[in-house]
Amino acid sequence: MTEPVNIEALLDAMTLDEQVSLLAGADFWTTVPIPRLGVPSVKVSDGPNGARGGIFKDGPSTACFPVGIALAATWNPALIAETGAALGVEARLKGARVLLAPTVNLQRTVYNGRNFECHSEDPWLSSEMAVAYVNGLQSTGVAATIKHFVGNESEYQRMTVSSDIPERPLRELYLLPFERAVKVAKVQCVMTGYNRVDGTFMADHHRLVTQVLRDEWGFDGLVMTDWMAHHDTVRSVLAGCDLEMPGPTRERGNKLVAAVQDGRLPADAVRACARRVLQLAERVGSFADPVIPAERDDDLPAHRALIRRLGAEGAVLLKNDADALPLALKAGQTVALIGHAAVTPQIMGGGSANVNAHHRSAPMAALQAACPGVDFVHRPGADSHRWTPLMPVPMTVDFWANDRFDGPVVATQTSPNTEIMWFGSLPAGLDPYDFSARTTLRFVAEAEGLHAFSLVSTGLARATLNGEPVLDAWTGWRRGDTYFTFGCDEVLHHRTLQAGDVVELQVEFSTAVEGGGFGVHALRVGASRLMGEADIAAAVDAAAKADVAIVFAGLNAEWDNEGLDRPGIALPHAQDELIARVAAANPNTVVVLQSGSPLLLPWLDAVPAVLQAWYPGQECGLAIADVLTGAAAPGGRLPQTWPLRIEDSVAFGDPAQYPGVDGHVRYGEDVFIGYRHHEARGHAVRFPFGHGLSYTRFEQTGLALDRTTLQPGDTLTATVTVRNAGPRAGSEVVQLYVHDTASTLARPPQELKAFAKVALQPGESRTVSLSLDMRAFAAYDVDRAAWWAEAGTFEIRVGSSSAAIHQRETVTLAADWVEPVAR
């Protein structure tokens, strides 16, 4: 047995400089070691849908799991715990002992660019997913890092915006997933958000980090900043933020030593933070095994199978008139596959959750393998991109060791496509704040038409086309919404080309930009023909000649992306027109949607079946084919309400509530987000929270409560019987909502407080038990600074979505229950 580490003795043996050195990263992904005392370095890795490792783009491949909203759509905590354990194995393969996951911010609005990465609009569903994920991950000895604490519900002005959240919704909604991860799952790390809350940056927020997280909830783990989210040398340490990331330090180091020596910061505060860094290293086993191994790209069959299962179990069957699905295809039939995503699998969102997947299963290839003898034809139909598509050719870049292209070329690097991201992957010997680079690319037009050429960069960039300077991201360069807001907005040039025309692009990049982007640099070169009427017509013609048409529509990692929000919830480009015209040409049209948040569906009445597949990870095509063909049942339920109109959504029309005014975004809707908002206002919605159809039919009967009167402190148990009354195996999600029939505080019409997923064979029945403690009946009373369940009658509602309540029973709370928050 390994001897426990005497952390206090280590701290006693350290100089102030050594203690301070522990409080910032050594580099992008590791902590600082102290070799003379045997203090190891700990490596962290981005999640939450895969362990990427130390190279941001094109490093060793890894398993890509479904995104956060797709995991939550399973409504299956046991399966999510299994997923967490698999991700722990993946983290170890990358030499990491800390995974930066899960993301549990709520889907407050429909605009947030990271809604795909979050679990749900509902705090209970989000917290159940978080607890399962953390438990599974930490069972492998890898620490989870729940993020982003707290109020990080949009990407607009994300590095500075203040989320001004009243105390009641802060407690009831936004803090709940963090609270339960701490209290129930014993999460080991917490990451603070970029944002401010009520004017104070989260890394400096003493009330929330020390008073709430540590003192009230009892969190004894490590708090780290998000990357480049550290602002105040002294305030962050006093707030209890232990680790500034990434390294090398910008705000700690010598500044922190000076603050202690000048008497602005007590040495004990530094020691407390250093203690927690050492404690993390011990908990994850780094003292016992200090070696950080080389990254491995093992492609594990068990993880492939799990990802494929997750994809099907999270897929939500939104509509299925006349049992259009599953498909009953026969040899000799023709199926028209329409849309880019049929052949270019959309497996994940963009930003820090992005990984270099082992492979990407495409729906067309998977359907061809599953349906021998069926003729599948493909037509792209319409564009779906946000930025001009990359050129699918290698890009070789030459480097100079200055920002002026002076002297000899000192290094060369090749990217598999025309995007290169220097996030810890710059060639050795180059200064990330002082280099220049040049590449030459050759583009050949495949068809006649208007073409787009583009540049995006985190530094100065410019390009010539056949010697003509046409792309200028150099003169007057300024930061925009790309590359985590360190990149400029896309610069475009259009020209008409004939088939076979050749264009030579010479592209130059320089770091000579004010601020230096924290040494985080990237270059993106786009070139593509713009699609138009002829492409839609070709798709419609193929659909008209086919027995079945399947349209793959939606978004991609450019729209669902860290660093920038969505402009709305309509499908981009001409996708809505494409679907409507294909459906008019072929009544047997199925639509497969992929997005990380709701969409408007103006053509919904014209198609018999719609499947929401999210971004389901590397087995994307196989999982979608399994559901379409009936090899697997669609097991998903919506974790987020889909509104009928964007005008009905939370914060619409009030800039102060979204996106914010003068650096502040006001959470003026109080506790009314998601289905709470729509139900309180009587909105009709497109698809309600918890909605999802099946290939079979279920009955929920026999709701019974174990008591009719509750005394303060009691637990209520509800039982319900679920029966599969249809012809196929499938799963049902029993959802329990609580309605307070009369309340002093304004409360939502109902709130999800328990759920259970049940898999049943045809004719099989099972009784499900759901337990509710006092918090299930309580609201947060600001005046009392306490959780308060008010005496009176509560209705227990059980159903298959927030809008499909099948049974109701009432229970009476005999007297008030009050639980003050710890101070």
265 within 8 A of 238, measured Cβ to Cβ:
yes
Cis amide prior to 248 (ω within 30 degrees): yes
Nearest-10 crossing angle of helices 620-629, 363-370 = 50
Q: How far apart are CA 607 and CA 80, in angstroms?
A: 33
794 within 8 A of 808, measured Cβ to Cβ:
no
Q: How far apart are CA 691 and CA 611, in angstroms?
A: 12
Q: Tokens 């069957």 label which residue?
A: 317
DSSP letters for 427-473? PTT-BTTB-EEEEEEEEE-SSSEEEEEEEEESSEEEEEETTEEEEEE
Q: Determine how β-strand 449-457 pairs with β-strand 375-379.
A: unpaired
Helix (H) or strand (E) holding 364: helix 363-370
42 within 8 A of 98, measured Cβ to Cβ:
yes
- Give me the catalytic one of 226, 481, 560, 626: 226
100 within 8 A of 47, measured Cβ to Cβ:
yes
Measured CA angle at 377 (ends 375, 379), to 5 deg: 170
Q: Give me the torsion for CA of 563, 568, 572, 574, rounded to 10°.
A: -170
Q: How far apart are CA 662 and CA 655, in angstroms?
A: 10
User: What are the tokens at 162?
Assistant: 């203040």
CA distances from 140 to 99, 284, 367 (A): 11, 9, 36
Nearest-10 crossing angle of helices 77-93, 301-314 = 140
Exposed, middle or buried by CB within 10 Å (0-12, 13-18, 19+), for 263?
Answer: exposed
Catalytic (active site) residue 12 = no
User: What are the tokens at 659?
Assistant: 């996106």
Q: How far apart are CA 356 and CA 337, in angstroms?
A: 26
Q: How far apart are CA 79 and CA 85, in angstroms?
A: 10
Query: Measured on CA atoms in the order 215, 219, 224, 229, is the torsion positive or negative?
Result: negative
Residue 503 CA from chain centroid, whole number: 38
Q: Which residues pair with 772 in a beta bridge?
A: 716
CB atoms within 10 A of CB 512: 17
Q: Which residues of 30-59 are buried (b: 16+ CB within 10 A; e: fewer)?
A: bbbbbeeeebbbbbbbbbbbbbbbbbbbeb
- Alpha helices, H only, 630-760: 674-681
SS3 content of the chain, % helix, strand, coil (to 5): 25, 30, 45
Q: Give me the torsion for CA of 582, 585, 589, 591, rounded to 10°.
A: 10
Q: How far apart are CA 189 and CA 144, in angstroms?
A: 6
Catalytic positions: 226
